[in-house]
Amino acid sequence: MFIIIGFIGAGKVGVSLGMYFSSRGIKITGYFSKSEVSSMEASKYTASKNYLSLEYLIKDTNIIYITAPDDEIEGIAERLYKFELSNKIICHASGSLSSKVLYKLKEKGGFIYSVHPLYPFSNKYTSYKGLGNACFCIEGDERYLAFLKTTLENLGNTVILIPKSSKPLYHLSCTTVSNLVLSIIDIGCNYMESCGVDRETALSSLMPLIEHNIENIKKRGINSSLTGPLERGDLETINSHLKVIPKKHRVLYKTLSLNLLRIAKLNNKGRDYTQIEKCLIEENI
């Protein structure tokens, strides 16, 4: 199949993917958006067409990529249902929704997929530059699953395939290592501020610790990167944490520390963590 992609949605994700695909030699026809200004800007930036009608975008493409917000995808599918979609690939870029949200389009001859890039789209016009390192998660109809996988792999991307029933758990994974990590960093900065350090200095002083930890994980994996008082069995330090931690954060500290304890036990099979485990469970009930 010769790939021709048209986008419904002209925000950060749509523009970034359009720029990425076209820069790698994949033909994109253009954009349709509820905001004509957005689709015009997107088409201009990607040297493609600004569509004022869904009908013409469908006719010009064989892959329809919905890059609109999650709460708009079902409504877009209802609009697409009015048209003939025989042998068209229709996919969306949502991390949380499965391809099931597009199921009606199979009745019109379409093949449905979710094709989610594991990537933070922070800038509409520059994020595409880092997409070559992104992993894509795909699920959907068997017919073109291997084709989509191979296409992305040929661009240099890693691709993972999951069943549609796993999509919520998959998205929880993504949220945990991105948004929830941000929350933990914010909490750490708040603790530093409570020591009398201003916010900007708190973040800049903690950043080398954050970055070094991420680099270690990239190079050595999770288990081999574990350090700190829990890993070395320092009960006194953990007790000191429990004395000063806000009550509302005790359950969080317990959950994260007990998971680290699991890793520590794997790393140090001869070390006795009984007292630390007891302390964490009893102090955080």
pTM exceeds 0.95 for this model? no
Percent of the chain with pLDDT over 70: 99
Per-residue confidence band for 284, with pLDDT thresholds at 50, 70 and 90: very low
207 lies in the same domain as 270: no
User: CA 242, CA 82: separation in Å to the nearest integer?
Assistant: 60
> What's the pLDDT tens digit per position in 11-22?
999 999 999 999
User: CB–CB of 135/157 below 8 Å?
Assistant: yes
151 lies in the same domain as 23: yes
248 lies in the same domain as 214: no
CA 283 to each of CA 179, 248, 249, 258, 274: distance values in angstroms, whole numbers, following the listed order: 27, 13, 12, 12, 14
**CATH code, 31:** 3.40.50.720
217-223 mean pLDDT: 95
User: CB–CB of 24/55 below 8 Å?
Assistant: no
> What's the pLDDT tens digit per position in 21-38?
999 999 999 999 999 999
How many domains does the structure of the chain reveal? 3
72 lies in the same domain as 95: yes
User: CB–CB of 167/139 below 8 Å?
Assistant: yes
User: CA 144, CA 150: separation in Å to the nearest integer?
Assistant: 10
pLDDT of residue 283: 52
Domain that holds residue 49: 4-166
Q: Is residue 171 part of a domain?
A: no
18 lies in the same domain as 84: yes
126-132 mean pLDDT: 94
